[in-house]
Amino acid sequence: MAKVELSGISKRFGRTAVLEDISFTVADREFLALVGPSGCGKSTLLRIIAGLETQDSGSVFIDGTPVDAIVPRDRNLAMVFQSYALYPHLSAAQNIAVPLLMRRLTPLQRLPFASTLMPQARAIRREIGAEVARVAEALEITSLLQHKPGQLSGGQRQRVAVARAMVRQPKAFLMDEPLSNLDAKLRVQTRAEIAQLHRTLGATFIYVTHDQAEAMTMADRIAVMMDGCLLQLASPDHIHHDPVDIRVAEFIGSPKINVIETIASDAGDVRLDGSQVVIDAQARPGEAVRLGFRPEVAKLTEPYEGDLKGQVSHVENLGSDVYVHVKAHGFAPIIVRTRPGEPRARLGESVGVEIATSRALAFGSTGRRLARRAA
């Protein structure tokens, strides 16, 4: 397997900057997810790694060797596309075998009747057939090998596409939103299978998705991209609990993080709604500050006890969690997570919201996370 390193990658299409100075390293055997909204440049970056696009500046290294001048087929990277890119007239077995046939047989040996006339070609095809069978068994698709793509479900086609990538024994797997064509139930099942596949193979995975749930549940680290820039690269826990930019905080997490607009005091304190509740963050006096806190770090109280006061405007009962929307005076609705068995909030009821201020996040006027105050 391989370490993949990007150094100063930039790309423009005409006057539009798609990628701006992207640099990071994917460790050998790591599962890295590139996540961000549509149009943020993540698929373009994956294509640059694969060699299908050429960057305007910067370099791609695989195991310390620059590969910018190396054509895609010689980079030994396997790519799984969103559309699966299977040949409709070939069986699943034949689709899986394609990369090995192209690599091991000469154009003459690939002719339809070459195996009959050339013993060497016949032996190579037997070896390829055995390797296809091994990969199919690992992915539990042996019974599908004689079916054509049109006879397979979306999940089955996705497994065939992964098998075709696996059979090459590549240095790294590049996956471009491979689950986006699946229904919600199958997507949950298949992402667990891909995570297990990564653990089984011990391979390097770079996985592009706009679905934060896929990134959070599968990846060792997540790279959050927006507007062609890399905002943060960290573990899922750090991305969720310690975002360095308000855009990361708002993109990651479901339900969305609560954000309250406030102004830093003359002393540079961040105070909540003009109250005496001081947030552990350092701002410039008078600076516009956005205070963020997740639904799980707030709780409902009696109106006179809370840091904020408001009325219940909506209740979402999801079974294991109940999300209560509170319209606090002067702010957008705030979401508080409660659990079954806790006192039920009623629509229109006046409540207080108490915030665990040690877990609240403060973002300055630039959108970047404010440093904590010195002890």
**CA dihedral for 74, 174, 190, 90, sign (positive or negative):** negative
Considering the domain architecture, whether residues 131 and 211 belong to the same structural domain is answered as yes
196 phi, psi to nearest 5 deg: -65, -40
Mean pLDDT of 113-126: 78
Mean pLDDT of 117-141: 87
Indicate the pTM of the whole model. 0.86
Domain with residue 60: its CATH number is 3.40.50.300
Considering the domain architecture, whether residues 234 and 260 belong to the same structural domain is answered as no
pLDDT at 103: 86
Give me the number of domains the chain comprises: 2
Considering the domain architecture, whether residues 190 and 260 belong to the same structural domain is answered as no
Considering the domain architecture, whether residues 41 and 139 belong to the same structural domain is answered as yes
Please, where are the H alpha helices in 51-153? 92-104, 114-117, 119-138
Considering the domain architecture, whether residues 151 and 282 belong to the same structural domain is answered as no
The domain boundary residue, chosen from 241, 267, 291: 241
Considering the domain architecture, whether residues 193 and 283 belong to the same structural domain is answered as no
CB 76, CB 37: distance < 8 Å:
no
Domain with residue 340: its CATH number is 2.40.50.140
**Residue 375 pLDDT exceeds 60:** no
Mean pLDDT of 56-69: 96
Distance in angstroms (rounded) separating the CA atoms of residues 349 and 327: 10
The residue behind tokens 């055995």 is 130
Determine, yes or no, domain membership for 188. yes
- Picking from 356, 353, 271, the residue whose alpha carbon sits closest to that of residue 305 is 353
Determine, yes or no, domain membership for 353. yes
276 confidence band (pLDDT: 50, 70, 90): low
pLDDT at 10: 97
The residue behind tokens 């820039």 is 229
Distance in angstroms (rounded) separating the CA atoms of residues 34 and 219: 9
**pLDDT tens per residue, range 147-181:** 999 999 887 888 898 889 888 888 899 999 888 87
Q: In this prediction, what percent of the chain has a pLDDT beyond 70?
A: 95
Considering the domain architecture, whether residues 61 and 210 belong to the same structural domain is answered as yes
Q: Which domain holds residue 314?
A: 256-363
Q: Is 79 exposed, middle or buried (0-12, 13-18, 19+ CB in 10 A)?
A: buried
Q: Which two tokens stand for residue 129?
A: 């057939």
b/e for 228-247, b at 16 or more Cβ within 10 A? bbbbbbbebeebbbebbbbb
**pLDDT tens per residue, range 203-241:** 899 999 999 999 999 999 999 999 999 999 999 999 999
Average confidence score pLDDT of the chain: 88
Considering the domain architecture, whether residues 149 and 118 belong to the same structural domain is answered as yes
CB 92, CB 152: distance < 8 Å:
yes
> Which residues sit opposite 334 in a β-bridge?
326
**Residue 121 pLDDT exceeds 90:** no
Lowest mean pLDDT among 92-96, 211-215, 302-306: 302-306
Angle made by CA atoms 51, 55, 57, in degrees to the nearest 5: 135
Determine, yes or no, domain membership for 320. yes
The domain boundary residue, chosen from 213, 241, 269: 241
Q: At a CB cut-off of 8 Å and minimum separation 6, what does 302 contact?
A: 351, 352
Task: Work out the end-to-end distance of the chain between its first and last CA atoms, rounded to an integer number of angstroms.
Answer: 45
Distance in angstroms (rounded) separating the CA atoms of residues 8 and 57: 7
Considering the domain architecture, whether residues 294 and 341 belong to the same structural domain is answered as yes
**Residue 282 pLDDT exceeds 90:** no
Mean pLDDT of 117-121: 78
pLDDT at 268: 67
**Residue 38 pLDDT exceeds 70:** yes
327 confidence band (pLDDT: 50, 70, 90): very high
> Which residues sit opposite 299 in a β-bridge?
354
- Radius of gyration from C-alpha coordinates of the chain: 26
> Which residues sit opposite 175 in a β-bridge?
80, 207
Residue 260's H or E segment, with its range, is strand 258-263
Considering the domain architecture, whether residues 190 and 330 belong to the same structural domain is answered as no
pLDDT at 332: 81
Structure-model confidence comparison of residues 273 and 38, the more confident one: 38
**Residue 370 pLDDT exceeds 90:** no
Determine, yes or no, domain membership for 374. no
Q: Which two tokens stand for residue 79?
A: 């790519």
68 confidence band (pLDDT: 50, 70, 90): very high
pLDDT at 149: 93
Determine, yes or no, domain membership for 250. no
Structure-model confidence comparison of residues 131 and 139, the more confident one: 131
SS3 readout for 110-131: CCCCHHHHCHHHHHHHHHHHHH
Distance in angstroms (rounded) separating the CA atoms of residues 333 and 259: 9
Considering the domain architecture, whether residues 107 and 56 belong to the same structural domain is answered as yes
**Residue 319 pLDDT exceeds 90:** no
**Residue 273 pLDDT exceeds 80:** no
The domain boundary residue, chosen from 207, 241, 275: 241
Considering the domain architecture, whether residues 42 and 141 belong to the same structural domain is answered as yes
Q: Is 23 helix (H, G, I), strand (E, B) or coil?
A: strand
Determine, yes or no, domain membership for 368. no
The residue behind tokens 């992915």 is 139
Q: What single DSSP character describes residue 168?
A: T
Structure-model confidence comparison of residues 82 and 373, the more confident one: 82
Instruction: Give the length of the chain.
Output: 375
**Residue 198 pLDDT exceeds 80:** yes
Other beta carbons less than 10 A from residue 65's beta carbon:
11
**pLDDT tens per residue, range 334-363:** 999 998 777 788 899 999 998 888 888 889
Determine, yes or no, domain membership for 76. yes
Determine, yes or no, domain membership for 248. no
Q: In this prediction, what percent of the chain has a pLDDT beyond 90?
A: 52
**Residue 287 pLDDT exceeds 90:** no
pLDDT at 278: 67
pLDDT at 18: 96
- Picking from 50, 37, 45, the residue whose alpha carbon sits closest to that of residue 17 is 45
